[in-house]
Amino acid sequence: MKRFCTAFLLLFGLQSANAELNVYPPVPGLAPSAHYQVRIRSATDGAKWQHAFAWKTECKTEEAYFESLAGWTHAYVNFEITGAVEVEISRSNGQPIRSAAVHPKRLASACTAQDGKAIVHLDKPCLVAVDIDGQMDGQDTGKGYKGPPLHTISLFANPPLPGKPSLDDPGVYTVKPGEKPPSAGDWRTLYFLPGVHDIGAAFPVSANRQYYIPGDAMVYGSFCNPEWPNGHDIRIFGHGTLSGARLKHWKALEKLSSGDTKASRKPIEIFGAKDTQVEGLTVADSASHSIMLINSYQEGHPNKVQWTKIFTWRANGDGINPFGNTLIEDCFIRTQDDSLYANGLGIRRCVLWNDANGSSFVLSALPDHTERQLIVEDCDVIYSRAMWHHWSGGRVFNMRGEGEDAAGAGVIFRNIRISDPRPTLQQFFICMAVPKPYGDAKRGPGDLSGILFQNISIAAPSVIREPQLLWGQSDARIRNLTFENLTLAGKPVTDPDFFKTNESVGNLLFR
């Protein structure tokens, strides 16, 4: 069924028309960021500035939110580009911006502070953060930070989103703000109209259907397919936001003795996922793991997560778990628990940021492939901070004494840039058994062997001088790891003594 309110859509519009730039209008009924205002224009001479709606996500003070981040916010804007653009960031209160820096730096052609505003030039689609006045770059925000809440911002210059649904398509069902959407019917695409929606926990999604959230729509709740066979050919997409801010964390539900603890808090959880896609969305304030596309490897039926952005503030607010059948590309992930599980069909061109508790790459589910090769490549870890010192979480490459079986054969990590100038902990914590004082977890039997780490650049060591760790155990050794062009602070690492090891680690090759 198709329902369409012409006056409503004419009033708010779908997006601005420009050959090189599409800027979405404000979200009806949603307050913008109180800290930043953003304007964008094409880099073409004479192009006019367009105001972009600055979304916000905030760390609250409820159960399971990290107290050390209470009151922190992140503003973000989503827009589409096909050519070069100029972006202007200003403070909403009129106070001048003194300095600005883009991360990853290589993705912007220029970034300066001019006349109290930040000016950023982007030549092609990319997902970046802009550090204003050195809030992150200029101070240690890890364990012991006692300063005021930080208010950060990102620019999400997306490529044009393919296959946007037409409101004239009879297979499109439009959902008005405040209306309960149907979970079944004679429609193929569920289209959330501009404004604020609430679908609750575990809204059921089904095979062979699309769920579209445009760039001027906010949807509170989570999507989940109720049965394993219904996990195929699902597309959840758009440049709007799917938020868990109205969902309680399982810890809070237990204290409330709620009977709703079985409803999925994961923003997107698809069982039996194959030929399923998540594209363009922003997933904010997850009450649990953000995206889980659950399935083993299915030859010829890959899932894809592309141009997706994730912000989490709570424990268990992990980023993406690809399991065995998902390709992850061009994502921006700021989580307070783990960002990515190194598994699936590949991970490419992602930007990673941790503040409190999470690891960039969790290695406990690493495959031991003979049928195909897992490559994690061209990723940027822009911040790797932690609120604790001696525990087994955090870091960049982390095998924290979890999992079992042989792993690593055919796995490549290449072109990984760790640019944080003040990382709290070490970058390598590859521990089959976690040594004291970090814990006592032990992985099950099976060696870790055959990984290539190629072109890994680390800008700075741990601010608290934590050693780089490779730590095996008698039935789960670490061996045959190759480090090709590993650098720390611009200097080549060519000696195994770079790592602190035990007797269950051997045959480390540097070249």
Q: How many domains are there within the chain?
A: 2
The answer on pLDDT for 17 being more than 90 is: no
Q: Answer whether residue 501 is part of any domain.
A: yes
User: At 314, is the pLDDT very low, low, confident or very high (cuts 50, 70, 90)?
Assistant: very high
What was the pLDDT predicted at 92?
98
pLDDT for residue 260 is more than 90: no
Least confident span in 81-90, 213-222, 323-332, 367-376:
367-376
115 part of a folded domain: yes
pLDDT at position 18 is: 55
- With residues binned 3-state (H G I as helix, E B as strand, rest as coil), the percentages for the chain, rounded to 5, are 5, 40, 55
377 - beta bridge partners? 348, 414
Asked whether residue 112 is assigned to any structural domain, the reply reads yes
- State the pLDDT confidence band at 9, using cuts at 50, 70 and 90: very low
pLDDT at 422: 98
- Per-residue confidence at 250, pLDDT binned at 50, 70, 90? confident
Tokens of 469: 């760790």
Q: Give a yes or no: residue 186 inside a domain.
A: no
Which of 158, 190, 220 terminates a domain? The answer is: 158
Q: Taking the model in full, what pTM does it have? A: 0.95
- Domain's final residue, options 158, 185, 202: 158
The answer as to whether 459 is a domain residue is yes
The span from the CA of 361 to the CA of 414, in Å, is 13
Amino acid at 173: Y
Does the residue 375 lie in any domain?
no
Is residue 287 pLDDT above 50, yes or no?
Answer: yes
Q: What is the mean pLDDT of residues 240-268?
A: 79
Q: Which of 125, 158, 191 is the last residue of a domain?
A: 158
Across 331-355, average pLDDT:
97
* pLDDT tier at 172, thresholds 50, 70, 90: very high
- Examine residue 418 and state whether it is found in any structural domain, yes or no: yes
Once rounded to an integer, what is the mean pLDDT over residues 469-484? 98
Q: What is the 3-state secondary structure (H, E, C) of 254-269?
A: HHHCCCCCCCCCCCEE
Judge whether 227 lies within some domain.
no
Query: Domain with 154 in it: what CATH number?
Result: 2.60.350.10
What confidence score (pLDDT) does residue 11 get?
38
Instruction: Return the higher-pLDDT residue of 263 and 119.
Output: 119
Predicted local confidence at residue 6, as pLDDT? 36
Asked if residue 2 has pLDDT above 50, the reply is no
Q: What pLDDT is stored for residue 263 in this prediction?
A: 72
Query: What's the confidence (pLDDT) of residue 226?
Result: 84
φ, ψ at 79 (rounded to 5°): -150, 170
Q: What is the pLDDT of residue 259?
A: 47
Distance CA 215, CA 240 (A): 4
DSSP class of residue 214 equals -
pLDDT at 258 over 80: no
User: Could you tell me whether strands 151-158 and 126-132 are parallel, antiparallel, or unpaired per DSSP bridges?
Assistant: antiparallel
In terms of Cβ atoms closer than 10 Å to its own Cβ (0-12, 13-18, 19+), residue 233 is middle
pLDDT class of 371 with cuts at 50, 70, 90: low
Q: How many CA atoms lie within 13 A of 109 on its CB side?
A: 11
Judged by average pLDDT, the poorest of 10-19, 121-130, 329-338, 457-466 is 10-19
Average pLDDT over residues 184-192: 97
Confidence of residue 76 (pLDDT cuts 50, 70, 90): very high
pLDDT exceeds 50 at position 25? yes
Domain of residue 500: give its range. 394-511
